[in-house]
Structure 1
Amino acid sequence: MIDTREIGHRAGSSRAYTRKAPAPADFGLDMIKVPEGEPVELDLLAESVVEGVLVSGTALAQLAGECVRCLDPVSEEIEIEVRELFAYPDSATDTSTDDDEVERVVNDLIDLEPVVRDAMLLSLPSAPVCSPDCQGLCSGCGVKWAELAPEHTHETIDPRWAALQERLGGTEEEK
Structure 2
Amino acid sequence: MPADTTARSRSGARRAHDAGFVLDIRSLGRAPGSMRKLRRTVTTSEQLGLDLIAVPAGSEVELDLRLQSVSEGVLVTGTVTAPVAGECSRCLEQFTDSVDVSLTELFAYPDSATDKTASDDEIYRMDDDLIDLEPLVVDQLGIELPLQPLCTPDCAGLCPECGVRMAIAGSDHGHEILDPRWAGLAKFASGSPGSGSPEGAATGDHSVDIARNSTEEK
TM-score (norm 1): 0.86
1:140 aligns with 2:175: no
Q: Which 4+ stretches in 1 moved above 4 angstroms? A: none
Deviations 1:4-26 (A, max 9, x none): 21211111111111111122424
For 1:4 and 1:35, locate their aligned partners in 2 and report how far apart those are by CA, in whole Å.
Answer: 28
Structure 1: unaligned runs, 5 residues or longer = none
Q: For residue 76 of structure 1, what is the amino acid of its counterpart?
A: D
Q: Percent identity?
A: 44
Shift of 1:80: 1.0
Q: Does the 8 Å contact 1:74/1:128 carry over to 2?
A: no
Q: Is the 8 A contact 2:115 2:125 kept in 1?
A: no
Quick one: structure 1 residues 48 and 156, their matched pair in 2 at CA, closer, same or farther if it must change by over 3 Å?
farther
The residue matched to 1:134 in structure 2 has which SS? coil
Residue in structure 1 matched with residue 78 of structure 2 by the alignment: 57
- Structure 2: which 5+ runs fail to align? 1-21, 189-206, 211-218
2:139 and 2:108 mapped to 1: Cα distance?
18
Partner of 2:187: 170
SS at 1:170's partner residue? helix
More helix by share: 2
- Offset of 1:37 from its aligned partner? 1.0
The letter for the 1-side match of 2:133 is L
Residue aligning to 1:30: 51
Distance in 2 of aligned mates of 1:7 and 1:124: 32
CA drift of 1:99 comes to 2.3
**Bigger Rg, which one:** 2
Classify the secondary structure of the residue corresponding to 1:138.
coil
SS at match of 1:45: strand
Range moving further from structure 2, 50-59 or 6-15? 6-15
Structure 1 CA distance, aligned partners of 2:129 and 2:178? 67
The answer as to 2:177 corresponding to 1:155 is yes
Distance 1:156 1:21 in 2: 58
TM-score of the superposition, structure 2-length normalised? 0.70
